Amino acid sequence: MFGDFVKNKPVKIRGFSGNKKYGVAAKDLKELVKKGCKLLQLPVSGARVCLYQDGTVVTEDFFPTLPDNSELVLQSKDQTWPGVVCDIGQLLNTDRHADALIEAAKGLLSDEQSPKRRKILTDLLQNLEDRSELESREDDEDWFTGIDARFKSKSAYMKFNCESRIRGYMKEVDDATKTIQKAKVKAEFLKASKCLLEMLKNAKYNGSYFDRTGKEPDRLCTREGWFTCQGSFDKKMCQSLHSINPYSSRETRIIFSTWNLDHRIEKKRTVIPALLEALQNRQSTDVNLNYFYQMLFTRANLKLVHIVCHKKGAHNLTCDTEKIFTTARDADEAKEKARGKKRRLI
């Protein structure tokens, strides 16, 4: 008699859109789906339940093993919940400042044992409010907390965010001037630096990379604002399928600051020294500054990388000697010089 008794399992269930959670107790998955659909006014046919954390679908056999009060998402037939890397909403209810929150987020996101996402997110999750770019600060006041009042839209701030990173790369180029001893070389380097700056200004510091309203070839995100990790410098793609939408909430905007625009061929160890070497015995007009511009400031050499995928060690990649100079003769000389260095190293 008592062997047939099945204890009801308490869980917390939420819909695909919205953050409101409901406490539900059910003896099996079938009963949970039925009760959940009634609460959330969803059709029972095709409905399924998954884990809020990583999107794992809950089956009849899996249901009894769930810990009490597990957080679940109820989906209708055409919905897919990919899960979240972590829920840092609790952190935002503390009195910590943004800097402390960023450090906390780094710790949470650096766990390489986190479950892999099942798919790259291409559509804006309905549980995060899908607002238009005409949205004012008043419409989403929380997102703009801590942001200068001059930014009237999310895209305007995100463009500025990207521009700031690119300006930082330009500053590193300018700082290299301090290391040059020869006056003639320094003069040519200053000319090259000025030319690179003009190219950047014309491109508006490539701020369009983070602008979801920009043209598709120019932006790194979808129209909804989703960014996907492009993997470490030595990989073709992210093995963990990391993705994030900094447009969706204040917490994801802060987390996004921990993602890197990483140079495959390193700017400080490789690209800038290659530019300096090219100017040792030649004028800036002999150097292919378009190539160096691409290597320093564009997607030709930049990858957007999640903090876990960012490898800080030496990349061991070199500039293309055939592209460093504007003339074939100079390029051949540089190539021969590079071969000589390689032979000496061997």
Find tokens 């003769």 and name the residue: 329
C-alpha span between 251 and 84 (Å, rounded) = 13
* pTM of the entire predicted model: 0.59
C-alpha span between 185 and 181 (Å, rounded) = 8
- Please tell me the predicted confidence (pLDDT) of residue 335: 55
pLDDT band per the 50, 70, 90 thresholds, residue 339: low
pLDDT tens per residue across span 210-234: 999 888 888 999 999 999 999 999 9
Q: How far is CA 40 from CA 23, 74, 127, 158, in A?
A: 12, 9, 13, 35
- Please tell me the predicted confidence (pLDDT) of residue 6: 62
Dig out the tokens for 237 from the structure: 């793609």
pLDDT tens per residue across span 277-286: 999 989 999 9
Higher pLDDT, 98 or 275: 275
C-alpha span between 26 and 8 (Å, rounded) = 5
Nearby residues of 208 by Cβ (< 8 Å), 6 or more positions away: 159, 162, 214, 215, 218, 219
- Please tell me the predicted confidence (pLDDT) of residue 117: 38
The answer, yes or no, to whether residue 261 has pLDDT greater than 80, is: yes
- Residue ranges of alpha helices (H) inside 51-175 are 89-92, 98-109, 154-175
Handedness of CA 9, 15, 19, 20 (dihedral sign): negative
Least confident of 86-100, 190-204, 309-323: 86-100
- Please tell me the predicted confidence (pLDDT) of residue 87: 41
pLDDT tens per residue across span 109-127: 443 333 433 333 333 333 3
- Please tell me the predicted confidence (pLDDT) of residue 76: 86
In the chain the domains, ranked by start, together with CATH numbers, are 9-87 (3.10.20.10), 94-129 (no CATH), 154-344 (no CATH)
Q: Express as a percent the part of the chain with pLDDT over 90.
A: 50
